[in-house]
Structure 1
Amino acid sequence: MSFLIYQCSKIEQIIVCSLFGLYFIYLLLKKYSALKNVLALFLILAAVSVTLNRLHPTFSLTSSSSIELYPDQINLKDNWLTGVGKVKGTPVLVTATITDMQKKQLERGYQVVLTELNGEVKKIDQATNYGQFDLRKYYLGKNVTQQVNLKSCHIKTRVVGIINYLHYLRFCLQSYFKKMPQLLCFFSSELILGENPSQANQSILDHYRDLGVIHILSISGLHVGIYTILISTICCYFKLTEFETFACCVPLLLGGIFFSNYQAGFIRASLSYFLSQMLKFHRFPIAKLDLLGLTCLIHLLIDPRLMMQAGALLSYVLSLGLAITDKLPNFKQSLLLNIFLVPLLLFFFFQLNLLTVIFNLLIVPYFNYIILPLTFINLLTFSLVPSMGAAFEKILMLGEQQIGSLSASKIGLLTFGKINWWQCLLLISLTVILLADQNEPYFNRSQRKWLFQSIGWLYLILFLMIHFPLTGQVTFIDVGQGDSILITTPFPRRAYLIDTGGKLNFSKQKVRPQINKITLPFLKAQGISRLNGIFVTHKDTDHIGDLGPLMSQIPVERLYFAQGLMANPSFKKRIEKHIKLNQLVQLLAGQEIKEPQIKFNIVYPFKPGQGENKDCLSIFFKVSNKSWLFTGDLDQEGEQKLMAKYNLQANYFKLGHHGSKTSSNPDFLHKLAPEIVFISAGRNNRFGHPHVETIATLKKLGIPWVSTQDCGMISWTYSKFTKPKFNRFLK
């Protein structure tokens, strides 16, 4: 019901989900025929729960509007606040500009009420590119559908109530952890609070993720096991009964759920413990798989949107695998569990590490016997002996350096590409059958061999379809206020990028590059792990701000740019650590870059410049009998010079300078005679792009246009077997 209501958007998904649902109901009735009335009651409760969670109360700002927030759930960056608050019980995402005085109020740690609100209410931003993390869907999984952007507000502090006190304690823990050295702060926050305290730690998470061991940082069964064993040992010392021990564990685990910010893995493990103990006290025997199923059903009853969270889905699938393979030797179990998770990893993250089993054998002992003890010892001693924390930090630094080196080597890391929902479901279903057979053999030798081969062939076919496509593309990546265009050819695929996009960072804190959120996930989703070339049009940050970070994470064969740009110190600094001199190609009008299946003609500039708008590298090429022209931010004077020299005509043209009136000369557009033009510009950008003068010119000339502002990513695909077509990410 959860998948059917919240995640099925296509008729085929609804049919498949309904069939699975009917099959599972049949199994329940078959196995527990004596509990028909209980199951019927449960289905009614589930229907009510799902229905209530489908309601999305909306609101608008009025003079009496107020928002309640807890400081432990707020992120403060300079004078910018983000967090989830409540308006009359309805959760909303809040962003606000605050003063230094208001910042001090928030740092006191008590619940605050925002009043005298001046701002706007809107929907949460959604993903606008293929492969991009969808913030709207993420918050929808938490039943948050609206965002309030405040320009100003008044803050009042509230210090009453047990809930407020619990949040205050959690805030105190956050503050305590922030006083620790970086790694101890990171591990303490991850393992106790279930959160990353700073963007500066993102590289650590990336290292664990690339090695396929990110799960060890999750708050889940390991932590529940540690807490219950600790309490049980103490209770045993005081000779308490088993029921009394259970009664002591319950409040501790409930507190752990709260302090971990309701992490799905911790709730799952805690629920399993509660249910197993209660059923044990009532002498009701239950199998591991049934216990997991009951836990999942109750968890879904509490939170019907649970499976919209990738972490929750992975947690339950991993637990299912553990329950199915509980009789297997450790190494074989670990190998099969990693195979079991592969479909979900490819669906959500588009890559996997083939050596994950080996890395688990290396890193899990380091985590269990070094990270965990040092972190928890430091929690108890840091306020008394800070120097001990400094010594622990040095030990952890040595370990993390080794993990970072392993991750940087990219050994075993395979960029597979994104598989779709039915491919993921099919692979999971086949792998469940494989795991069940390994635990308790059902098939004969030939049937087992056929199953292995079927799964292997399916992965191979999907890999070949992604990495050896029959189609090429020209894709305008929605990088906001900037340019980035991907060009690929059909099999054998070659990939080129015109500019990378980028943003100026006005914050004092280090900001994660935009390409890590947009461009790299898009490339990985298509199975692209290297670029044959990057064309740099000019020096502006909105075109090449992410050039350095991109080249540090993905191999690039050639970097093309106009002559004279190397004299620019900032450009030289961007690239010097990431590429060799023999990979740099300086260009002027009249030169050609002949590549298999495509030839890039350089039509501007005519003489070396300094990488300014008037010197923009301009590129003309043809694919599938259609011609394309890209001129970066070239101004009107440059457009006229270009047309006077070449008298070009192009089917498709990207408007210069994001639709600014400084480009798009009417005579130039008239002679170019494009079928359609494209605008790459940010939503609500401070420059007002595209300018009304440019739109008026297009209307006068009868030239249609599309913009990334409205359509998100725009792709034009072609092949020898089908007609070229356009696809807009936002319908």
Structure 2
Amino acid sequence: MTGELQTNRETVKFIYQIRTQSEQQYWKKLDHMVQAKLEVKKVEPIARPRNPGEFNYAKYLIKQNIYYQAEITEFKNLLEYHPQSFKGKINVLRIHIIKYLAQLPKWLRIHAQSLIVGYTAPTDKDFLKILSVLGVIHLFSLSGLHVLLILTLIRKLTSFLKIPLELIDMLMLFLLPSYGILVGSKSGIWRAVVLAMVGIVFKKLGWSLSSLDIFSVTLLICLFVDPMAITTMGGQLSFLLAFAIMYLYKHTKFIWATLKMNLVSLPIICFYTYQLNWLTLLINLIFIPLFTYVILPLTFISALSVNLKIWNNINNLFEIMYRILDYFSSNVQFILVTGKLAVLSVVLLVIISIFYIESKSIFNKYLYQYLIIFVGCVVFNKFPLSGSVNIIDVGQGDSILVTTPLIRKTFLIDTAGKLKFMTKPWAKRNGGNQVEHSTIPFLKSQGISKIDKLFLSHKDVDHIGNLEILLNKFPVKQVNFGIGLDQNLRIQKVIRAHPEIEFRSRRQGDVIKTGFINWQVLWPKVKGKGENSDSLTLLAQIKNKKWLFTGDLDIPSEQKILKDYQFKVDYLKLGHHGSKTATGDELLEKTQPQLGLISSGVNNRYGHPNRETLQRLENHHVKYLNTADYGMISWYYDFFDNREKITTFLKGDSFENSRIKK
């Protein structure tokens, strides 16, 4: 269980391991605030991302003034808490509304909770992913649009009831900030709330200001109260689109206004998500009227009476609609992976898009300038001038990305995975996985839209546990594995499930030539069962350097390879995460690597890398880097010359020999 604690001094994120099913039910049914004494195991800063492209959860919380996470071992003296502050009472009301709306069928519940109180349940994350990929998530994220619609409805209703406008304006000065607190203080809502309040106050003072003046005052107030709001994707889109709307919908047809709005938001979306959906414009043209005239009214009507049977029939229609949207969001044919755009490019694109929305014509120099810069950024990301080897930090596991320059080829060695321990049914939860959390975001941030060859070293979960997830979530052209691994029942199931992918078994002596890189298979020699001793071992010639990747190969198997081959390497990926059962003295003596790379988890339960292994490295004068210390480790080589460099994600860009651990 996770949540937030309010101490006397600050807000702290907490995690807590629920012990029994009855305790789980207690927390699920809780519909009020509680106070308690806590036993805390440790308090530490929020963990930073360890790979490029990962969601920066620490940065996200810092923007909410949350800096620490506490691990709680026990709640003591739990008592119902009745807050006395106005904000506290509004928060209690929010809890009751969320519980009340939970009685609706699935899709109506999601609509009502997100559009009325700004709440999205953890189980609804897949729904948000669909909307995000299709570019319509802004419709279901409470924003100024919804405040504007609510204000319009209130004004029309009060006009019909002959209630004085002056009285309504005074009530709005109280109700608007109350609603802002109720929905969780989202930046988009507060921008709209402040905008409406500024307009009311200026009207009362008799000041005649333009919409741009009111917007500017609102922006200054919002940034004074929360300077970090403008640093988030939501905050940037909220202010930018609000600014664009002032110009567009007064003198532009809906279809062209939608096009221009998409061009305004596109650089921001690509900067944070690294992709766009070709159907975004078309879906917006269809979905915005559907949302405005069908979904939104039904949401408010259903919230008034949650138990009507008709809601089940309407929910079935929404089920069909979202299945269709899910197809379009997950089909890679409709997705363009752009890579992460440079900050300067994003700024230029936003500035040009502002000039574009002010222009009356559709096809003009601003549109052409915009397209040239955007296409140039995408081409630069997809056809880089350098290749790389990246030891992805997946914790206690292996996943290595190798790329070539220019017409880029991509190779992934292993997918990582987590060991699953036996848990009771009530204690099972949808935990994250390294592929969706680390690997795919990193690939997309680099502009990579497919994997040309995937190598599976052996059957262990920490190496191929995420195989099915990767194949379902990301295009892979060919899968390679050591001879005999295809007899594994799990691998057979994967092969049957993906007839569109080529599966190849490899054995000692095979050579895979792929442009800039030659892969030589050193092991296995005979058919095995996918054990550590059967690990697919690859010697790669990359530009003018040699790399050796050994999976979890043990020392006896290393010695057998050295009887068949004589070679030296520049870089060695240590076997079995630095275990003492791998990377023996004979391998180090005969291959003479300059640098060893280790992939292991921080404070892992196995004690990897083992001290005995590190002593062997020292004895043979081999320096090393470990992902547990440095996060992702990357080696880059240039296409035009022999320049190369090693970078780490956590501790700086370029490493000199003196800075690498001995």
- TM-score normalised by length of structure 1: 0.84
For the residue of structure 2 that corresponds to 1:532, the secondary structure is strand
Post-superposition Cα deviations, 1:262-316, rounded to whole Å, max 9, x if no partner, equal: 1111111111111112212222112222211111111111112212221111111
CA distance in 1, matches of 2:88, 2:232: 27
Q: Which residue of 187, 195, 198 maps to 1:275?
A: 198
- For residue 85 of structure 1, what is the amino acid of its counterpart? L
Say whether 1:111 aligns with 2:33: yes
Partner of 2:636: 717
Tell me: CA distance 1:164–1:460, structure 2 relative to 1, closer, same or farther (3 Å).
closer
CA distance in 2, matches of 1:195, 1:579: 41
Tell me: CA distance 1:354–1:285, structure 2 relative to 1, closer, same or farther (3 Å).
farther
For the residue of structure 1 that corresponds to 2:372, the secondary structure is helix
Verify the 8 A CA contact 2:90 2:178 in the aligned structure 1: no
Verify the 8 A CA contact 1:105 1:157 in the aligned structure 2: no
Partner of 1:373: 297
CA distance in 2, matches of 1:113, 1:693: 50
Tell me: CA distance 1:272–1:116, structure 2 relative to 1, closer, same or farther (3 Å).
closer
The structural deviation recorded for 1:388 is 2.8
Say whether 1:302 aligns with 2:225: yes
Within a 5 Å distance, the mapping from 1:375-390 to structure 2 comes to: 375-382=299-306, 384-385=307-308, 387-390=309-312
Post-superposition Cα deviations, 1:167-225, rounded to whole Å, max 9, x if no partner, equal: 332222333344433322322222123232133x3332222222221211110123212
- For residue 212 of structure 1, what is the amino acid of its counterpart? G
Partner of 2:262: 338
Post-superposition Cα deviations, 1:64-88, rounded to whole Å, max 9, x if no partner, equal: xxxxxxxxxxxxxxxxx21222222
Tell me: CA distance 1:497–1:215, structure 2 relative to 1, closer, same or farther (3 Å).
same
Post-superposition Cα deviations, 1:576-633, rounded to whole Å, max 9, x if no partner, equal: 323436x111111111112122111111111111112111111111112110011111
Verify the 8 A CA contact 2:31 2:99 in the aligned structure 1: no
The structural deviation recorded for 1:522 is 0.9
Within a 5 Å distance, the mapping from 1:213-228 to structure 2 comes to: 213-228=136-151
Q: Which residue of 523, 540, 548 maps to 2:460?
A: 540
The structural deviation recorded for 1:696 is 2.2
Partner of 1:522: 442
User: Which piece of structure 1 moves more, 648-657 or 163-172?
Assistant: 163-172
The structural deviation recorded for 1:417 is 1.1
The structural deviation recorded for 1:261 is 1.0
For the residue of structure 1 that corresponds to 2:476, the secondary structure is coil
Within a 5 Å distance, the mapping from 1:355-434 to structure 2 comes to: 355-382=279-306, 384-385=307-308, 387-434=309-356
Within a 5 Å distance, the mapping from 1:63-78 to structure 2 comes to: none
Within a 5 Å distance, the mapping from 1:220-299 to structure 2 comes to: 220-299=143-222
Partner of 2:657: none
- For residue 419 of structure 1, what is the amino acid of its counterpart? L
Say whether 1:166 aligns with 2:166: no
- For residue 687 of structure 1, what is the amino acid of its counterpart? Y
Tell me: CA distance 1:578–1:171, structure 2 relative to 1, closer, same or farther (3 Å).
farther
Say whether 1:329 aligns with 2:248: no
Say whether 1:436 aligns with 2:358: yes
The structural deviation recorded for 1:450 is 4.3
For the residue of structure 2 that corresponds to 1:438, the secondary structure is coil
Say whether 1:616 aligns with 2:550: no
CA distance in 2, matches of 1:115, 1:473: 51
Verify the 8 A CA contact 2:270 2:338 in the aligned structure 1: yes
For the residue of structure 2 that corresponds to 1:325, the secondary structure is helix
CA distance in 2, matches of 1:315, 1:155: 43
Within a 5 Å distance, the mapping from 1:639-654 to structure 2 comes to: 639-654=558-573
- For residue 377 of structure 2, what is the amino acid of its counterpart? L
Tell me: CA distance 1:684–1:180, structure 2 relative to 1, closer, same or farther (3 Å).
farther
Say whether 1:552 aligns with 2:472: yes
CA distance in 2, matches of 1:305, 1:126: 18
Partner of 1:8: none
For the residue of structure 1 that corresponds to 2:325, the secondary structure is helix
The structural deviation recorded for 1:335 is 0.9
Verify the 8 A CA contact 2:275 2:336 in the aligned structure 1: yes
Q: Which residue of 86, 92, 97 maps to 2:6?
A: 86
Q: Which residue of 476, 500, 505 maps to 2:391?
A: 476
Partner of 2:112: 188
Partner of 2:16: 96
Partner of 1:352: 276
Verify the 8 A CA contact 2:516 2:543 in the aligned structure 1: no
Verify the 8 A CA contact 1:111 1:158 in the aligned structure 2: yes
Q: Which residue of 594, 618, 635 maps to 1:699?
A: 618
Tell me: CA distance 1:669–1:152, structure 2 relative to 1, closer, same or farther (3 Å).
farther
Aligned length: 640
Tell me: CA distance 1:195–1:160, structure 2 relative to 1, closer, same or farther (3 Å).
closer
The structural deviation recorded for 1:453 is 3.2
Verify the 8 A CA contact 1:211 1:413 in the aligned structure 2: no
CA distance in 2, matches of 1:179, 1:242: 36
CA distance in 1, matches of 2:420, 2:132: 26
Verify the 8 A CA contact 1:314 1:341 in the aligned structure 2: yes
User: Which piece of structure 1 moves more, 638-647 or 583-592?
Assistant: 638-647
User: Which piece of structure 1 moves more, 349-358 or 558-567?
Assistant: 349-358
Post-superposition Cα deviations, 1:391-410, rounded to whole Å, max 9, x if no partner, equal: 22211101111211222334
- For residue 202 of structure 1, what is the amino acid of its counterpart? K
Tell me: CA distance 1:114–1:308, structure 2 relative to 1, closer, same or farther (3 Å).
farther
- For residue 276 of structure 1, what is the amino acid of its counterpart? G
User: Which piece of structure 1 moves more, 175-184 or 710-719?
Assistant: 175-184
The structural deviation recorded for 1:153 is 4.0
Partner of 2:56: 134
Segments of structure 1 that go 5 or more residues without pairing to the other structure are 1-80, 442-447
Partner of 1:596: 515
Say whether 1:638 aligns with 2:561: no
For the residue of structure 1 that corresponds to 2:227, the secondary structure is coil
CA distance in 1, matches of 2:599, 2:111: 41
Verify the 8 A CA contact 1:118 1:153 in the aligned structure 2: no
The alignment-based identity, stated in percent, is 32
CA distance in 2, matches of 1:610, 1:544: 14
- For residue 625 of structure 1, what is the amino acid of its counterpart? N
For the residue of structure 1 that corresponds to 2:491, the secondary structure is helix
Verify the 8 A CA contact 1:378 1:388 in the aligned structure 2: no
Verify the 8 A CA contact 1:499 1:536 in the aligned structure 2: yes
Partner of 2:659: none
Tell me: CA distance 1:161–1:451, structure 2 relative to 1, closer, same or farther (3 Å).
closer
Partner of 1:577: 497
Verify the 8 A CA contact 1:325 1:438 in the aligned structure 2: no
CA distance in 2, matches of 1:175, 1:575: 44
The structural deviation recorded for 1:508 is 1.6
- TM-score normalised by length of structure 2: 0.92
Partner of 2:239: 316
Verify the 8 A CA contact 2:50 2:631 in the aligned structure 1: yes
Tell me: CA distance 1:625–1:449, structure 2 relative to 1, closer, same or farther (3 Å).
same
Post-superposition Cα deviations, 1:327-359, rounded to whole Å, max 9, x if no partner, equal: 222222211111111211121111122332211
The structural deviation recorded for 1:141 is 0.8
- For residue 379 of structure 1, what is the amino acid of its counterpart? A
The structural deviation recorded for 1:645 is 2.0
Q: Which residue of 681, 689, 696 maps to 2:600?
A: 681
Say whether 1:492 aligns with 2:407: yes
Tell me: CA distance 1:181–1:451, structure 2 relative to 1, closer, same or farther (3 Å).
closer
Say whether 1:145 aligns with 2:67: yes
Post-superposition Cα deviations, 1:671-694, rounded to whole Å, max 9, x if no partner, equal: 221101111111122222212222
